[in-house]
Amino acid sequence: MALFETTFPPYVPFGSRNLSLTSPQMRGTDVAVFQAVYNLMLKTMNPASGPIGSPVALDGIFGSASRQAAINIQAYFGLSTDGIVGPNTFFVFGQGNTYGGPRFGSRTLQQGMSGGDVTVLQNRLNLYRYASILGAPADGVFGSRTDGAAFAFKQDAIANGQTGLTSNGVVGNGTFDALWLYTGAGGRGILPGRNGFDVVMIQVLLARLGYYSGLFTGFYDAATIAAVRAFQTARGIGVDGEVGPVTFHQFGILNPFAAPQPLALAWPTAPQPQVSTCSIGLTSQTGDLHPYGVASLVINGAEGFESVDVVGNFLPDPSTFGSQYGAYAFQLTSATGAVLAQILMSVLPTAGDWAGSYSPGVYSIQKGLVQVLPTPAGSATGPYGSVVLQGNLAMCQ
């Protein structure tokens, strides 16, 4: 089984069902694809109005944060803001049967097959170095060249951290997930009125080829259309300002990179428990730790909660957990789970016993566990008594 299938089970083809907040919560690889592509687009886009939202934890579970992400996407692209990922929202991701059926990802693809889903596969591969293997624009027929291009893509995905892919040109569940994460566009023709995340990818490619100098907005606006027309003119193909199979192929001829490389995307290797919109929680534990392993909490019986100071010792560089992480944050929650405080931490110029420390305050982790204990009024030492407040170490962009 491939990585997404084992990490975010069960496998569900992206776009095969609407995603919504339900009880029990929906989970599966399609949710993980939604979360991963959304987070990638937040990193890549730079609209004039600023980011369209906050990253979500990649856990394959459609919770309240994922619903908010759907609303963010819908509001940005002018869709009905119902928080349900349905056909119109999937279309923003480039999932739609504009080339005819079957739906992309709904069946295993291999030599001898044909259809609109094969056209989508070829379009996506044609944006990268695999264009030279395919040798022509998409035609919807899975022949030996498509088999070779799919095999090359899978090898590149494996080199980038994907696991469980077969060493052949057959396109199955894991390959579809890798294609959604890496290829960015090709699921539909791009023409005026069609805005979305696939347009972001086209803007990135046009910018790298010197035809576009605007912001990466995902809107197929006049500047982007003009850049496409200029590119088509330079390549000697039909100049219509639309991005279809011929134009996809010409992009790939000039983009001799593996699919994972253009956006410098690392394959997500593990689910990340959601604590807040930008954090990963560590398990709390009770009991006495080494003094350097205690988070001291000052509580005054008359004034209630006054302060908590935190220092994390011997923490790895935040990027260890993913290139999107650039700092640590300490989140304090009550016994009922209410967030009391979130504090962004900065690196301390320390060494020796305090190497890798982050401030402010007085706490450290041991073996990935964090403990926050109450102390007598006015005291900054401990531990005393039982846990009343739990701390989560978080990594924020």
- Tens-digit pLDDT profile for residues 332-364: 554 455 555 555 655 554 444 333 433 333 333
Question: Is residue 342 classed as helix, strand or coil in its secondary structure?
Answer: strand
Lowest mean pLDDT among 102-106, 201-205, 305-309: 305-309
Gap between the Cα atoms of 67 and 73, Å rounded:
10
pLDDT at 139 over 90: yes
The CA distances from residue 178 to 124, 171, 181, 231, in Å, are: 11, 10, 5, 28
Cis check: omega of the bond before 383, within 30 degrees of 0: yes
Q: How far is CA 222 from the centre of its chain?
A: 28
Confidence band for 382, pLDDT divided at 50, 70 and 90: very low
pLDDT at 368 over 60: no
pLDDT of residue 55: 92
Residue 174 makes CB contacts below 8 A (sequence gap 6+) with 1, 2, 3, 4, 5, 162, 164, 165
pLDDT of residue 294: 33
Instruction: Answer whether 21's CB lies under 8 Å from 64's CB.
Output: yes
* pLDDT higher at 136 or 370: 136
Instruction: Provide mean pLDDT across the span 10-25.
Output: 95
Gap between the Cα atoms of 291 and 298, Å rounded:
16
The order of strands in the sheet holding 295-300 is 304-308, 295-300, 372-374
Instruction: Provide mean pLDDT across the span 132-156.
Output: 97
pLDDT of residue 35: 95
pLDDT of residue 329: 58
pLDDT of residue 351: 43
pLDDT at 1 over 70: no
Closest CA to 243 of 202, 296, 200, 284: 202
Residue type, 103: R
pLDDT of residue 381: 34
Instruction: Provide mean pLDDT across the span 56-84.
Output: 96
Lowest mean pLDDT among 43-52, 71-80, 107-116: 43-52
Gap between the Cα atoms of 292 and 363, Å rounded:
7
Residue type, 57: A
Instruction: Provide mean pLDDT across the span 121-137.
Output: 97
